Chain A
Amino acid sequence: MHTIDEIIDLIREINPLLNPKPEEELIKSGKLTSVDVMSLVLALNGNFDIEITPLDLKEENFRTPQAILDMVERLEEE
């Protein structure tokens, strides 16, 4: 099990100006750009035992820190 703080810390590493709440919207608001998302994907692949594929690159998986955590836990179970 992972915590939401691990995800938020990774987001802060990508963009130090961000300190999002677990349910804070990240994509539509432009807080994370497509370049930031790919940096985050590489960080997630490196920090957790998962392999994110192009099929996982959907807006709903990166919408909020909580959605990212849900995706990580789902991919770890697969």
Chain B
Amino acid sequence: MSYNSFIYLFPFLSVSWLLWALAPQKWRPGVLLGASLVFYYASTQRYIVYILLAAAVAWGIGLLLERLNDLQAQTRPLLPAAERKSFKKQVAALKKMTVTGGVVTMAGILLFVKYLPFGARVLSQLLETLPGAPVLTVPSFVQPMGLSFFTLMAISYMVDVYRGTCKAAGRYWQVLLFLSFWPHAVEGPFDRYGALSPSLLDPPRPAYRDLTFGIQRIVWGLFKKMVIADRANMYVKAVFDDWTQYSGAATALGVLLYTLQLYAEFSGCMDIVCGSAELFGIHPAENFRQPFFSATVGEFWRRWHITLGAWLREYVFQPLILSKPMQVFTSFCREKVGPTAARQWPVWAGLGITWALIGLWHGAGWLYLLYGLYYFALQWLGELAEPALIRLAPGLPGWRKTRPYKLFQVLRTFLLVNLGMLIFRANGVWAALDMLRRLTIPYEGSLLIKVDARDMAVLAAGALVLFLVDWLHHRGHQLRAELSARPLPLRWAVYIGAVLAVMIFGAYGDNYDPAAFIYAQF
């Protein structure tokens, strides 16, 4: 059930909302769970078993960790002082074993289903160099919808309970509702149990403001998806699928439109899902904060797919830097190289691994690995070059505060992100390299590839509206709140205008090939 389908927007959302609004307060979480399971089952049928299993593991591990905490709190004060320390150590070791078991199980499901065929292929390719080596074949498994999302959310739940940053759920259905909650089950955001569960388990009463704000946001998401992303898809698909036919401006425009498509689609999807949750008074974490106004690629990734970056930072990058092997590496760097290397090299190693994982999270393949490492290389080289740049141009820190330099930084980041998008969308590593080469070859044909002048005009106007809205948000405006304070006729003119724009300019019908949400496949 796609988030922009009629069946989702009308029968599913309206029936769910009505049942939820009419139900007594204590039954409302049950309605949300029922709706989530219907949504999930309608989309994946029998593969729903994966999420049921993941919730069972996470719930069980959470309870076990909570019991160990209780045991420590109740038993430790009763012990003689001499035994307290060793008892605390034993409980800590048990807790670590428990959470490790849960994390390994969840990561194991993800690795087995998503990455095993890729791993076998890589191993086969390596073995091919040896005479008489066997060819490894592994059956491909059907990847259940949202696997990469609910397994990581289950891991964050268990680790948060282990770290004591959230309380364990007492009942199985509470964890199942958190993992399967339909607005974040397909494309995220990666919510945290501690932040979402209060409103999920005890939702606010139905409110007119939540209803209207939710609908507004859904319409805005549909505008981005159907008017901008699906229209850009036609040009993008042609240029990337038949890349050898195009070069120069045609390829560059294809890359630019893919960046526009992915941003409009992914952030549009987040608007639809956050708007859907808002109807029920629930506010998932935000995944975008005007990323194209970033001065550096590091900043870009703090504003683009925010919850994935935050997840990897908290549950991979930080624990990795503080892990025992990294401590050994740090000591090695300190003794053999010096104090500067001891604080830089382990961080760079951790960054490299984290960026590789960001790439591979998007898919099991060399291209995705290259995509992650491209951003690592940019960040790493940027840090390495910084001291030399300051020496070459001592005025640089001062220039960075000026408006023209900030504009230069934003444009530079935009260009680098577009190159990253080329790698991300290309049909393989060689296609990506060939497309980069082709950018330098002039193109003399028409730029209206699979689209007409009207499509281009709608795309340009849509992109302009998107830019203006982002610019105003970047300047601190709260557009929805400001609009709600305007007179009724103006408000409704904007709402009706937005709905009409989707209906009139949305890319659907016989001439169009509406694309499935790109991030749903991850």
Instruction: Number of A interface residues at 8 Å Cβ cutoff, please give it.
Output: 21
| 25 A-B pairs whose Cβ atoms sit less than 8 Å apart in the complex | A13-B340, A13-B343, A16-B390, A33-B298, A34-B318, A35-B298, A35-B379, A35-B383, A38-B317, A38-B318, A38-B347, A39-B343, A40-B343, A42-B330, A42-B342, A42-B346, A46-B334, A46-B339, A46-B342, A52-B322, A54-B163, A54-B314, A55-B163, A55-B164, A57-B314
Closest approach, in angstroms, between the C-beta of A54 and any C-beta of chain B?
5
The residues of B that contact A41 with a CB separation of less than 8 Å are 321-322
Given A41-B321, A42-B347, 19 more A-B residue pairs with CB atoms under 8 Å apart are A13-B340, A13-B343, A16-B390, A30-B299, A34-B318, A35-B298, A35-B351, A38-B347, A39-B343, A39-B344, A39-B347, A42-B321, A42-B342, A43-B343, A52-B322, A54-B314, A54-B318, A57-B314, A57-B318
Complex Cα–Cα for A9 and B379 (A): 24
Closest approach, in angstroms, between the C-beta of A16 and any C-beta of chain B?
8
A14 at the interface (CB under 8 A from B): yes
Instruction: Number of B interface residues at 8 Å Cβ cutoff, please give it.
Output: 28
The residues of A that contact B346 with a CB separation of less than 8 Å are 42
Complex Cα–Cα for A16 and B394 (A): 13
The residues of B that contact A30 with a CB separation of less than 8 Å are 299
Complex Cα–Cα for A20 and B425 (A): 43
B343 close to A42 (CB less than 8 A): yes
B34 at the interface (CB under 8 A from A): no
Q: Mark B300-337, 1 if CB is under 8 A from A, else 0.
A: 00000000000001100111011000010010001000
Q: 5 closest A-B pairs (Cβ-Cβ)?
A: A42-B343, A43-B343, A39-B343, A38-B321, A38-B347
The residues of B that contact A45 with a CB separation of less than 8 Å are 327, 330
Complex Cα–Cα for A2 and B452 (A): 69
Closest approach, in angstroms, between the C-beta of B322 and any C-beta of chain A?
6
The residues of B that contact A55 with a CB separation of less than 8 Å are 163-164
A29 at the interface (CB under 8 A from B): no
Smallest CB-CB separation from A15: which chain B residue?
B386
Closest approach, in angstroms, between the C-beta of B247 and any C-beta of chain A?
38
Q: Mark A20-42, 1 if CB is under 8 A from B, else 0.
A: 00000000001001110011111
The residues of B that contact A14 with a CB separation of less than 8 Å are 343
A3 at the interface (CB under 8 A from B): no
Residues of B at under 8 Å CB distance from A? 163-164, 298-299, 313-314, 317-319, 321-322, 327, 330, 334, 339-340, 342-344, 346-347, 350-351, 379, 383, 387, 390, 397
Closest approach, in angstroms, between the C-beta of B284 and any C-beta of chain A?
21
B397 close to A53 (CB less than 8 A): no
Smallest CB-CB separation from A30: which chain B residue?
B299
Closest approach, in angstroms, between the C-beta of A75 and any C-beta of chain B?
13
The residues of B that contact A38 with a CB separation of less than 8 Å are 317-318, 321, 347, 350
Complex Cα–Cα for A53 and B342 (A): 17
Closest approach, in angstroms, between the C-beta of A57 and any C-beta of chain B?
5
Smallest CB-CB separation from A10: which chain B residue?
B343
Smallest CB-CB separation from A55: which chain B residue?
B163
The residues of B that contact A39 with a CB separation of less than 8 Å are 343-344, 347
A1 at the interface (CB under 8 A from B): no
Given contacts A35-B347, A46-B330, contact A17 B397 (CB under 8 A): yes
The residues of B that contact A52 with a CB separation of less than 8 Å are 322
A53 close to B339 (CB less than 8 A): no
Closest approach, in angstroms, between the C-beta of B85 and any C-beta of chain A?
12
The residues of A that contact B164 with a CB separation of less than 8 Å are 55
B319 close to A54 (CB less than 8 A): yes
Smallest CB-CB separation from A36: which chain B residue?
B347
Closest approach, in angstroms, between the C-beta of B64 and any C-beta of chain A?
19
Complex Cα–Cα for A38 and B314 (A): 11
Given contacts A54-B318, A55-B163, contact A34 B313 (CB under 8 A): yes
Complex Cα–Cα for A52 and B323 (A): 11
